[in-house]
Amino acid sequence: MKITRAKVIVTCPGRNFVTLKIETDQGVYGIGDATLNGRELAVVSYLEDHVVPCLIGRDPRRIEDIWQYLYRGAYWRRGPVTMRAIAAVDMALWDIKAKMAGMPLYDLLGGKSRDRVMVYGHANGRDIAETVDAVGQYIDMGYKAIRAQTGIPGIKDAYGVGRGTLFYEPADAALPSETGWDTRKALNHIPKLFDKLRETYGFDYHLLHDGHHRYTPQEAANLGRMLEPYQLFWLEDCTPAENQEAFRLVRQHTVTPLAVGEIFNTIWDAKDLIENQLIDYIRATVVGAGGLTHLRRIADLASLYQIRTGCHGATDLSPVTMGCALHFDSWVPNFGIQEYMRHAEETDAVFPHDYRFDDGYLICGESPGHGVDIDEALAAKYPYKPAYLPVARLNDGTIWNW
Ligand code: CS2
Ligand code: MG
């Protein structure tokens, strides 16, 4: 069996997505996601110019060998562009193998460990009252877990607050828009949001919050401690993780569960965090961390320390990643939760898929493969539109972590 063609499809049905389609001499094809929000075309070139020529003629059944070939063979290991390109190939190859076996992908991974996948949605508002309302709407839709973000008085476009209460799309401008940040104001405001949420809805729902890399370790420890009475499911990205050791200080001072990893590319980004038990949830996902082949390794390492998974699932990961993630989530023994921001209707139409939402859970489809396809004719109607993530500045103009 041979790979005969691999094609990169760029489309913007509401937002930009990069998709890889691998075709074989047996008529079976596979689909992979290669979207890197704000740097999409770098991955397109990496795939078209440097990966596709190496794939033609290879046996698509040799997933592990092709993974190692692309990872070690590049010599320049790791990084978001390389690992997204490898992830796209990996997803497409698992899709092909599962289709050939006539099995849903989870069966090939080892079979289902659960019937349904608990997801969390994003509730946000310009102020506490609006966010409390938005959380209520999610509860009404059946969600058991909700991430809550709010506008903060005195901060221009605080992280996580979108247009309308249910949708949030940060990559909103042809050049990065400028937002503000003020840690003092945030530390004063965020606990009030969770106080109100618990007072309004009680303690039966899981609540989550994303710090989006804004706090120093000491500030993060302080926030974690202040949030303890509200028993969060997790506090995410409380401090940047390039220095994994930074989480030790946070950990020493709070029992609020910690989650990190949406920008991790490999197991090496998480190794110290996991082995030193500095986190509770690992957020690496299929497209970010080298596909299913590599994500499995991260999850297995995490399982030794009772650390559970919480795959990134924002709208900048295409339905292809969501489909793969749901097969992974259905199988992985140490599953925690899956993030689920709903895609726009146009996105869902371009990527026909067989997963579905039901009462706070996503249910993985049963069709052979990962269950997500691309409608190429429809995709062609939505040409690429440059869109960047924002930047953040402190009051004195200093660039901060967005
Ligand atoms: C976020 C994302 O989903 C999350 O937890 O941190 O919204 C993130 O900001 C985007 O994926 C960046 O594109
Ligand atoms: Mg996040």
* Residues 186-212 pLDDT 10s: 999 999 999 999 999 999 999 999 999
Residue 39 near residue 81 (C-beta atoms within 8 A): yes
- The ipTM, to two decimals, is 0.98
Q: From the CB of 339, is ligand 1 less than 6 Å away?
A: yes
Q: How far is Cα 198 from Cα 210, in angstroms, rounded to an integer?
A: 17
Give the pLDDT of residue 162: 82
Please check the confidence at residue 291 and state whether its pLDDT lies above 90.
Answer: yes
Nearest to 57 by CA among 44, 69, 71: 69
Which residue's CA lies nearest to atom 10 of ligand 1?
314
Q: How far is Cα 159 from Cα 235, in angstroms, rounded to an integer?
A: 14
Please check the confidence at residue 165 and state whether its pLDDT lies above 90.
Answer: no
Separation of 288 CA from ligand 2 center, angstroms? Answer: 13
Q: Which two tokens stand for residue 215?
A: 């706090």
State the amino acid at position 235 in one-letter form: L
Separation of 214 CA from ligand 2 center, angstroms? Answer: 11
- When pLDDT is cut at 50, 70 and 90, the band that residue 163 belongs to is confident
- When pLDDT is cut at 50, 70 and 90, the band that residue 167 belongs to is confident
Residue 291 phi, psi dihedral angles, 5° rounding: 85, -175
| Mean pLDDT confidence for 79-89 | 98
| Mean pLDDT confidence for 247-256 | 98
Query: Which ligand sits nearest to residue 160's alpha carbon?
Result: 1
Average pLDDT in the chain: 97
Residue pLDDT, tens place only, 35-66: 999 999 999 999 999 999 999 999 999 999 99
User: Active site residue: 212, 213, 294, 327, which one?
Assistant: 212
Separation of 212 CA from ligand 2 center, angstroms? Answer: 6
Does the annotation count 327 as an active-site position?
Answer: no
Residue 261 phi, psi dihedral angles, 5° rounding: 130, 0
Domains, the chain: 3-104 (3.30.390.10), 109-367 (3.20.20.120)
Mutate which of 120, 157, 312, 391 for ligand 1 pocket (most atoms within 8 A of beta carbon): 312
What angle do the packed helices 63-73 and 80-101 form, to 10 degrees? 170
Give the pLDDT of residue 205: 97
Nearest to 132 by CA among 194, 42, 86: 194
